[in-house]
Amino acid sequence: MAMPMRVTGGWIQLLTDWLDLYQFPAPDLRLLLDSRRQDEAVPLALWQQLLERASMLPATAVVPALEIGAQVRPRHVGVLGYLSLASHTLGEALQVYQRYEQLFYGQQLVRVRVQGELVVLCWDADASTGASADTVAIAALVSFLRRLLPEVSAVARVGFVFPAPDARSRAAYDAFFGCEVVFDAAATEVALPVSWLACRLPHSYPDVREQLDQQARALLLALPGADAFDCALQRALVRRLPEGEVGLELVAEELCLSARTLQRRLQQRGLTWRSLLDRTRQRLAEAYLADSTLQLGEVALLLGFSEQSALNRAFRRWTGTTPARWRRTLR
């Protein structure tokens, strides 16, 4: 049975940032926003209600939902933002989104297909979250693409399943996306040139650098006195853990070593593969749990666990308590 649709807790910060941008007092709306923790999922119905309240504020833009989506930063999308910006190419970043979208909505919704010289991201009509929420989501996606690739201004095609708005609003959609937007479409979609997939991404985003530095510090704690080999091993583990592929043989292959040689080097350091993996995961878990924007399910994924219950069992074995209780002690 599919989980009900929701959005990740950090997503509602988009709305707070938009209120701050225009210095809206909006005390009732802000009270609702402030009552939500960033590590908690937000039911879709509540997100729609928040956007509806925002739309009743004095107009600052023809289509406020476009401006709200344009505020997107990596912290708003949690692990998806960090993993996307750590990708080498736009194609890798889109693969990350396709693989981990379920963390954001609670369901896997997007389909990706190649159509001639275009790659199309498509969400079926029954996956629509409503006109305002869909607009925020697609505006945020395109704005995120523009942050990844500053030279990008216009996408090839955008479609929405909801009816066309008035002429003034329709012009605002076309201007924002840099292309003619199709309404009453069979599916919500964004089309990009296939050639963009090979574009290399910059690695100069402070949010991502801070997150990766946090990972590195945690791993250095896991392997005190690290030398060049240890650092290479740590990098391989950080990259492999979110993929769920952390077997000794795979990591040894990435380091251009045999499994036997890797085992011998670990033994020289007084470690086994299991003890290294446990120690690394524990230190990383403690670092991730200190980041309130990451939900427990996202922490589990970053550590290579198939589900949150597996993280709970491992964390209790390491520390004698659960991740949720450990996080509460940090507040």
Q: Note the pLDDT tens digit of each residue in 236-282.
A: 787 778 766 788 998 898 888 999 999 999 998 888 999 988 988 89
Report the candidate in 137, 93, 104 with the shortest Cα–Cα distance to residue 5: 104
Is the confidence at residue 314, as pLDDT, over 60? yes
Cross-strand bridge partners of residue 159? 182, 189
105 vs 142, higher pLDDT: 142
pLDDT tens, position by position, 32-72: 888 887 667 789 999 999 999 998 888 678 899 999 999 99
Q: What is the pLDDT of residues 125-183, one digit of tens each?
A: 998 999 999 999 999 999 988 888 877 778 999 999 999 999 999 999 999 999 989 99
Say yes or no to pLDDT of 286 above 60: yes
Radius of gyration of the chain (CA): 22
| Residue 192 to residue 212: CA distance in whole angstroms | 29
pLDDT number for residue 295:
77
What is residue 168's predicted lDDT score, i.e. its pLDDT?
94
How high does pLDDT run on average in the chain? Answer: 84
**Which of 11-20, 282-291, 307-316 has the least mean pLDDT?**
282-291
Q: Which residues contact 296 (CB under 8 A, 6 or more apart)?
A: 39, 308, 311, 323, 324, 327
| Whether pLDDT at 89 is above 60 | yes
Buried b (16+ CB within 10 A) or exposed e, 56-71: eeeeeebbbbbbbbbb
pLDDT top residue among 229 and 122: 122
User: Which of 97-106, 110-119, 182-191 has the lowest average pLDDT?
Assistant: 97-106
| pLDDT at residue number 116 | 92
Please say whether the beta carbons of 266 and 273 come within 8 A.
Answer: yes
The yes-or-no verdict on residue 117 having pLDDT over 80 is yes
8 A C-beta contact, residue 71 and residue 137: no
Residue 319 has pLDDT above 70, yes or no: yes
Of these ranges, 23-32, 103-112, 170-179, the one predicted with the greatest mean pLDDT is 170-179
Q: Which helix (H) or strand (E) holds 166?
A: none
Of 99-108, 185-194, 200-209, minimum mean pLDDT range: 200-209
**What is the pLDDT, as a whole number, of residue 1?**
38
